[in-house]
Structure 1
Amino acid sequence: MPVFPEEPEIHESLPGPGVPFPRESDAQALRAPATGSAPATAPTTVAAPAPVPGPRPAPPRPASPTAGRPGPQARPAPKPGPAPRRPAPTAPQIEVRRVAATPAEALERADEVVDQLLDAGRSPGEILVLTVGEAHPWQQHELSFGEERYWAQLAEGGDVFYADAALTRPARREVVVLVANGGPAARAAEAYTGALGHASVLLVVCGDAGPAAAGAAGAAPGRPVSA
């Protein structure tokens, strides 16, 4: 008996996407489950992966005990007090020195005082000689050239100036020598006050002039005077 070769099995294949089925019944047959076939497997649900434990959040810090408290209030600026009082300027202190002499000796003692002041380094323009009684011989000599020339020497201030104790013109020198060579006591007292106004550093009184002049302590004839 002749043997026939086996025919290959023909498997039906589903058409690919976009390829129409040859018949509508074929598409429905594919969608409908076959009778007696195994039930379709229910779709499995994939569980979501468990979250990986991370670091725990830090607990909130407690509020600072000073939080919410009112801050220190600014202190008001101190009120300015009264300005300190400045001491009133005091008048310059004039040193007073006395040389005891009688009215007849006063001119001679005054000339000695002037020489001592010049030897001590005083400039001639720093010395003023005032006489209470008769005018000094040098004053009489300068007046012989006229009053204009006489008063010009006072303004120039280059030499010792001799004048009457009642001098009213502005004249201020460092040293004044007051000569009490005569005249009433009242005039000598006024001359003492005026001489203080003309001196800026030193007043030398030759003779009895001014308060308590006669009994001045330490006064002696010919006492040297230095400045």
Structure 2
Amino acid sequence: MSSLPSLTVGYVPGGTPAKWARNWAQRHPQVPLQLCAVAAADAADAVRAGTVDAALLRLPVDTSGLAVIPLYEETTVVVVPADHLLAAADEITAADLVGEPTLVPLDDVVDWADAPGAPVDHRPETTADAMELVAAGVGALIVPQSLARLHHRKDLTYRPITDAPPCPVALAVPEGPQSQLVEEFIGIVRGRKAGSSRGQAQPAPKRTAREKTLAKQAARAAAGKVARTPGRAHRGRR
């Protein structure tokens, strides 16, 4: 006996697939959508291994064997203690971080080769661990805005870095032909309206000018035959 169809979507920390999941539930209530949290470093592998059918992940990553659909770019921010000098401004620039002690966790996802600041020797294992060290005054932390919100706490705050590179977010699926369910989910992610996703009935292709001309000629010919038929019948009754 075959199992009921379902779709599993992975998402990295800070990812927000809830809206898509709600839209899916409205359009396909008979097909469960399971959301699966995955570490940023494991998201692409999870898709390749088939652990998830698709994954919301951050770029850059190794995308071999994957089809990647860019979605949006996150603002890069710096997290500091709430009473830090940088918290006095609404936004900062990279120059404001020159010489500032910074933390670079092992799961860092910000692709900024020349990031400002003075990295401390200790690299915390996770971003969550780094947040604890920021609160302790060890250093500042540069992250995508969604991670700053995810790990929000009253003694910390964050400020956008206006000249920092953004953090791209994408949807990754296995390379090659997609299942109907994956195509439907891609349609939701891309904002297609219900009934217009790939796999649904497509509108008839537009006719060429020649096809339109031939259709008109055929219509006129048919109309002429209809018009002549009653005439012949009338003459036959005389």
TM over 0.5: no
The interval holding the TM-score normalised by the smaller chain is under 0.3
TM-score (norm: length of structure 2): 0.22
Q: Which has the higher strand share?
A: 2
